Amino acid sequence: MKHKNRSAYDNRNLTLLVDFYELTMSNGYFRQGMRDQIAVYDMFFRKVPDEGGFAIMAGLEQVIEYLSNLRFSDDELAYLSDQDIFAPEFIDYLRNFEFRCDVWAIPEGTPIFPGEPIVRVRGPIIQAQLIETMILLTINHQSLIATKTNRICRAAQGRTILEFGTRRAQGYDAANYGARAAYIGGAGASANTWSDLRFGVPADGTMAHSWVQSFGSEYEAFAAYARTYPDRCSLLVDTYNTLKSGVPNAIKVAKEILEPMGKRLAGIRLDSGDIAYLSKKARRMLNEAGLNDCKIFASNSLDERIIRSLLIQNAEVDIFGVGEKLITAASSPVFGGVYKLVALIESDGSITPKIKLSDTFEKVTTPGFKDVWRLYEAGDNHPLADVLTLPHEFIEDNAPYEIFDPLEPSKRKTVTNFYAKKLLVPIFEKGELVYDAPDLESIRAFSKKQVSELWDEVTRLENPHQYYVDLSQGLWDLKTNMLREIRSYVQSIK
């Protein structure tokens, strides 16, 4: 795993960043003699934010860092001892804690869909239980921001998106790790300098209105900035009057200061007003001055819907700076990932599936130790569907394979011209890291390629086609039989 810089900020001990009930349950398992019971948990989510067609997996690198440093300090053990509800033997167990779980995950940047395991954990039940909160917290947040950013990038139709939300993020970690997730989702840079130092997310920015106000005139402010940064001079033109003052002064600086130095005006930024109207007027003024290569930036509470509207109006915007609506995913601010027990593994290796019921079938968990396969059309690499299988089941390339909707099993289709790929990859084996995590640039490029292979009907912003996550026949039979047995038992209770 490659990092540009590590700091004390990253080395915080986050072991007790858990819901308290993780500890009370773990203490209970310990006192019930279940410390060596092997359990299997799945993390999955039920709904794509913004009613989109897919989400983007992100945050795995931070999960790896957390699990690699999972240990209890003396201060934390003293705190737990003071609670008077934890057995002294349990505190001793935590004092000698060694992470021994197996962990699989879908790689960062991969398009993911509701209902499929995106992280799978197998190991001693206390350990698998304790890590629930941090897995959910980390994957939920970064997947949310990566997904939102990708929507915004798709709306921009190839134009650059800059993440400008640091000051509006909901806390330091949300700003820092949100910038990382936004870069995975397709943002070209971030205003967050820390994310450049730590992750290599390119930092970018120009000036605030205060710079312009700090000088005797707008022209003086622009001239001072141009002399200071002649190779990357972008000017904020809406402090006083965009078309009567800002753009003319930017052109004047380009002609009187930059061009005599052999430099070009890199860009102007619009941060208020009617962006569509102002950008078209500004573009005409710049072109008439021979500044056809000067980029127009736009900011001011943008999101994918506003950007799409601006482009429909033929706005002359080359780069969009998107702030609070990206970094907070304001229109759909929760990524509803959950972490559920799906099986217990007995000492003889046999698997006992576990299921959680609900009044609605789509909220019933899928039991058992499962694999996740993605079926691709041979030749063009478009994903056809994802299929969950039992561990002994194998999907053979090109061999006829029947897929069906688990909610409406009468909807069936036999596919033939395809190849299949398992999505979950090993991350930890018995607590040892076995995964060579790619660097951030590789993750970003991988995600771009993966999204490009999805059908347009899946990636459209409104009313996307439902991408199916199917169950194998064997897994569907297991699930429905367990449901039938449990419901029969419940009905028998008087």
pLDDT value of position 246: 98
The mean of the pLDDT values for the chain is 96
Residue 223: phi, psi to the nearest 5? -65, -40
Band (380; pLDDT cuts 50, 70, 90): confident
Euclidean distance between the first and the last CA atom of the chain, given in angstroms as a whole number: 57
CA–CA separation, 48 and 337 (whole Å):
10
459-473: b (≥16 Cβ within 10 Å) or e:
bebeebeebbbbbbe
- 133 close to 25: Cβ distance less than 8 angstroms: no
CATH architecture group of domain 206-322: Alpha-Beta Barrel (3.20)
d(CA 333, CA 239): 32
Is the per-residue pLDDT at 392 higher than 90? Answer: yes
Burial class (CB in 10 A: 0-12, 13-18, 19+), 395: buried
Higher pLDDT, 12 or 77: 77
Runs of H (alpha helix) within 204-329: 209-213, 218-228, 247-253, 275-288, 304-312, 324-327
Q: Residue 160 in contact with residue 175, Cβ under 8 Å? A: no
Q: Which residues contact 245 (CB under 8 A, 6 or more apart)?
A: 218, 237
Q: Could you give the percent of the chain with pLDDT greater than 70?
A: 99
Q: What is the pLDDT of residue 7?
A: 74
Least reliable range by pLDDT among 229-243, 348-362, 426-440: 348-362
Sign of CA dihedral 438, 439, 443, 445: negative
Q: How far, in Å, CA of 77 to CA of 15, rounded?
A: 11
Residue 20 has pLDDT above 90, yes or no: yes
Helix (H/G/I), strand (E/B), else coil: 131: coil
Report, as an integer, the average pLDDT of 479-493.
88
What does the alpha-carbon distance between residue 279 and residue 89 come to, in Å, rounded to a whole number? 68
Region 126-136 average pLDDT: 98
Cα–Cα distance for residue pair 193/187, rounded to 1 Å: 15
Per-residue model confidence (pLDDT) at position 1? 45
CA distance 82 to 75: 11
Same topology, domains 20-145+333-492 and 206-322? Answer is no
Helix (H), strand (E) at residue 297: strand 295-298
Q: Is 259 left (phi over 0), alpha (psi -120 to 50) or beta?
A: alpha
Q: What is the pTM of this model?
A: 0.96
Q: Per mean pLDDT, which range of 6-15, 281-290, 407-416, 468-477 is the poorest?
A: 6-15
Q: Which of 228-237, 410-419, 455-464, 483-492 has the weakest average pLDDT?
A: 483-492
The neighbouring-strand residues paired with 268 are: 235, 296
Could you tell me if 369 and 122 are in contact, meaning their C-beta atoms sit under 8 angstroms apart? yes
SS3 189: strand
Cα distance between residue 322 and residue 204, in whole Å: 13
What residue segments make up the domains of the chain, in order of their start? 20-145+333-492, 206-322
Three-point CA angle 397, 403, 405, nearest 5°: 155
Q: Residue 211 is encoded by which pair of tokens?
A: 């710079």
Name which CATH class applies to 20-145+333-492: alpha beta
Residue 71: how many CA atoms within 13 Å on its side-chain side? Answer: 9
The DSSP bridge pattern shows strands 295-298 and 111-112 to be unpaired
